[in-house]
Structure 1
Amino acid sequence: MSDLDRLPPLERDAAHAALREVIGTAKIDAVTPVSGGATSARLFRIDAGGENYLLRIEGEPSPLRNPYQYVSLRIAAEAGIAPRLYYVDETSRIAVMDFISRKPLALYPGGLPALAKALGELLARLQATPTFPSFVRYPDIVARLWAHVCRTSLFAPGVLDRCNEHLAHIRATYAWDEANSVSSHNDPLPANILFDGNRLWMIDWESAYRTDPLVDLAIVGGSIARTPELEDLLHRAWLGRPLDDALRARLAHVRALTRLYYAGVLFSASATAPRATPDTSLAAPTLAELAEATRTGRLKVGTPAAKHVVGKMLLASFLSDVATPGFDLSV
């Protein structure tokens, strides 16, 4: 019995139907669960007929589920930005694509400067594709997620008032003509950037739809190009020139929105754990203090407590523009 046969009956049957469509009568030599990426989907490496495939089964739909993710995935795959796509069934939410072995981004030739440049070029290629469908304005989806956090009672009354006021200010001053929106991944964290030893790919397209081109730029800048020098390389590779003052001012607003979005993701996770009393403080550690806490075991990676602390660090970045912890949602 393989791991596929342990799936719930409907998913098991849909998975086998997908594989029959792709590999025909070829014998399946191995089925291996795969981790990686920033996704709730279940992933399996399928070895069959001398080829390696990735079978992806979408996780339980959330209230913020993007209904256009598979359209966006097809466009990205056809452009060679996502791995080759063999099969999609939107009803069963299953896809089969090439399996690509991941190498650490730290091994990218030329180091971080070359990686920042390559990512800027990759974003430019993505934004030049046939435009993804429209879903929701980025400030609106950030506000919806943040409203959910506020309803969880994770924080005591009044603690988040300053954050709410800052979000309202940004939404009131945010300027973007939706007619100029472009194809966007909207979640290009390092976990969703795959290096195969030769080139970069983008994976996990659940959040992909058309939006402000600065969203992806802000996320990559906050997670990988985290110095002025690297950010300049990223911007030049993306735009072909440095950003002007007007674009930098707009990027600051979008960057703040991305920080609040990922804070909301982490707080939503931490809110699922039992808590004796609501949090009464937004005090957050520095990056050095976070590293020391995880090194000594006072903060365990992957726990709700760790996610809560990193969420507070992102809130501090949202409010004051201090350095972020790098959007490492595995913490």
Structure 2
Amino acid sequence: MRKDWIEAFPAAQRETARAALAGAFGPAQIDTVTPVGGGASGALPYRVEVGGRPYLLRIEGKASPLRNPHQYHALRIAAASGIAPVVHHIDEVARVVVTDFIAHRPLQTYPGGPAALVVAIGALLARLQEGPVFPHFVDYPDIVGRLFAHVRRTGLFADGLLDAHFERLGRISQAYAGGLDRLVASHNDLIPGNILFDGQRLWLIDWESAYRNDPLVDVATVLDTLATAPALEAAFLRAWLGRAPDADLLTRLELTRALTRLYYAGVMLSGSAAAGRAAPDTDLSCPSLEDFRQAIADGLLTPGTVETRHLLGKMFLASFLTGAEPPGFEHAVLA
């Protein structure tokens, strides 16, 4: 047994990690501990090898005021349904989880290409939504409104610059509430980084935002990230719904897509605000999707920087207002 494996963790997290691994594996030997890339949430994930088998230990980041209290309940349900990796230990107080480790391959390598991938995601999403429901947390327009209100309060933008977005959010929320007829188990952050392909099948991970919600929220996110071409959109919707969507569903889907775009604008811009700016931004102009991708390719924008996230946030704001294609969540940008 390596005596120094605990040193792979930050000093402040070592006892949390030690207790979690003891809870999962008892006195079993810990062979190796290796940090793995984290996402935008601030979680600390580690690959832990025990008896020659890999597991994932994930210590959550600092809880936010908008923290979902039902994430671990949702994770247990999803794991029991074979949608999330097998869970070996959860400590809700310490906010730490041990699961199977999924050695994933790029989604671009999925057999059959993008068309087969979106069909598989649609079928997996249908399984999730047809299964046991998660506890309710908050109505989706409310969580979008809370996050957007936070962005407005930070002083990130000059006074009045986001007024048009605030007014549109009010109109959309009112129309949206009138058409909601059912709530289902929802992941609520179904971006490509939270969908893993192990060479055989897909898994959904990172259940921090999971609670009972409108089924179209996950659908809208997939449409704006992976099923972005008309043929892919049609294939995904048919795989998810079991038939072609009717006009009423498509109309409601447009409302939901506007809300998810404003939500992700809030995610990006909250991070930008936390980093601080010398003065409020007075300009909402942003590049087209093609120009943004070219700037990344040319090295004019650096993936993962505050500047790039701020620009992404403004692109999502523009998409919310106009319905233009949003920037999506290419892994290279969010890594």
Scaled to the shorter chain, the TM-score interval is over 0.9
Residue 13 of structure 1: how far off its partner (Å)? 1.9
Displacement of 1:2 in angstroms is: 2.7
Aligned residue for 1:46?
A: 48
Note the C-alpha offset of 1:5. 6.0
Identity %: 54
- The one-letter code matched in structure 1 to 2:245 is L
Aligned residue pairs total: 330
User: Is the Cα contact below 8 Å between 1:178 and 1:211 reproduced in 2?
Assistant: no
Tell me the residue number matched to 1:58. Answer: 60
User: SS state of the match for residue 91, structure 1?
Assistant: coil
- Cα displacement (A) at 1:8: 3.8
Aligned to 2:33: 31
Equivalent-residue separation in structure 2 for 1:81 and 1:288 (angstroms):
34
Counterpart residue identity of residue 166, structure 1: R
Distance 1:189 1:316 in 2: 19
User: Could you tell me whether the CA contact under 8 Å between 1:218 and 1:255 is conserved in 2?
Assistant: yes
Q: C-alpha displacement at 1:261, in angstroms? A: 0.3
Flag structure 2 segments of 5+ consecutive residues without an equivalent: none
285-294 or 245-254, larger mean C-alpha shift: 285-294
Amino acid at match of 1:330: L
Matched with 2:229 is 227
1:7 is matched with 10
Q: Does 1:76 align with 2:74?
A: no
Contact 2:168 2:321 in 1 (8 A): yes
- Alignment map for 1:131-170 (pairs within 5 Å): 131-170=133-172
Secondary structure of the structure 1 residue equivalent to 2:275: coil
**AA partner of residue 279 (structure 2):** T
Asked if 1:103 is matched to 2:108, the reply is no
* Amino acid of the structure 2 residue aligned with 1:7: P
Query: What is the DSSP-based 3-state SS (H/G/I as helix, E as strand, rest coil) of the residue aligned with 2:89?
Result: strand
Match 2:326 to one of 321, 324, 327: 324
One-letter amino acid of the structure 1 residue matched with residue 95 of structure 2:
R
Task: For 1:114-133, list aligned pairs within 5 A.
Answer: 114-133=116-135
Question: For the structure 1 residues 6 and 35, does the alpha-carbon distance in structure 2 shift closer, same or farther, using more than 3 Å as the test?
Answer: closer
Cα displacement string for residues 190-218 of structure 1 (whole angstroms, at most 9, x for unaligned residues): 00001111100000000000000000000
What displacement does 1:247 show? 0.5
Kept after mapping to 2: 8 A contact 1:222/1:324: yes
Question: In terms of mean alpha carbon deviation, does 78-87 or 308-317 score higher?
Answer: 308-317
Helix, strand or coil at the partner of 2:126 = helix
How far 1:176 sits from its partner (Å)? 5.5
Q: Distance in 1 between matches of 2:112 and 2:9?
A: 44
The whole-number CA distance in structure 1 between the counterparts of 2:162 and 2:9 is 44
- Tell me how far apart the structure 2 counterparts of residues 3 and 317 of structure 1 sit (CA, whole Å): 45
Q: Distance in 1 between matches of 2:178 and 2:121?
A: 23
Q: 1:101 to 1:5 in 2, by over 3 A?
A: closer
Q: 2:279 aligns with which of 274, 277, 280?
A: 277
Structure 2 residue 298 is matched with structure 1 residue 296: yes
State the SS of the aligned residue for 2:274. Answer: coil
In structure 2, what is the Cα distance between the partners aligned to 1:6 and 1:130?
35
2:194 equivalent among 188, 192, 195: 192
SS at match of 1:272: helix
CA contact (8 A) 1:38 1:189 kept: no
State whether structure 2 residue 19 is matched by structure 1 residue 17. Answer: yes
Q: Give the conservation status (yes or no) of the 8 Å contact 1:175–1:250.
A: no
Q: Is the 8 A contact 2:38 2:44 kept in 1?
A: no
Equivalents in 1 of 2:179, 2:246: separation in Å?
A: 18
Shift of 1:177: 6.8
User: What CA RMSD, in Å, does the superposition of the two structures yield over aligned residues?
Assistant: 1.6
2:68 and 2:85 map into 1 onto residues whose CA distance is 20
For residue 179 of structure 1, report the CA deviation from its aligned partner.
Answer: 6.7
Letter in 1 for 2:334: S
Relative to structure 1, the CA distance from residue 293 to residue 90 in structure 2 (aligned partners, 3 Å threshold; closer, same or farther) is: same
- C-alpha offsets along residues 116-172 of structure 1, whole Å, 9 cap, x if unaligned? 100100110000111000000000000000000001111111111111111011011
CA distance in 1 between counterparts of 2:196 and 2:230 reads 24
Q: Deviations over 1:205-260 (max 9, x none)?
A: 00000000000000011000001110111100001011111000100000000000
> Which piece of structure 1 moves more, 149-158 or 274-283?
274-283
Q: Structure 1 residue 246 and structure 2 residue 248: aligned? A: yes
Measure the CA separation in 2 of the matches of 1:276 and 1:20: 47
Confirm whether residue 201 of structure 1 aligns to residue 203 of structure 2: yes
Once the two structures are superposed, residues 263-297 of structure 1 have per-residue CA deviations (whole angstroms, 9 ceiling, x without a partner) of 01111111123423211121110112112222222
- 8 Å Cα contact 1:23-1:49 kept in structure 2: no
Q: Report the Cα distance in structure 1 between the residues aligned to 2:277 and 2:16, rounded to whole angstroms.
A: 39
TM-score (norm. length: structure 1): 0.96
Alignment gaps of 5+ in structure 1: none
Could you tell me how far 1:327 is from its partner in structure 2?
A: 3.2
Query: Does the residue aligned with 1:223 lie in a helix, a strand or coil?
Result: coil
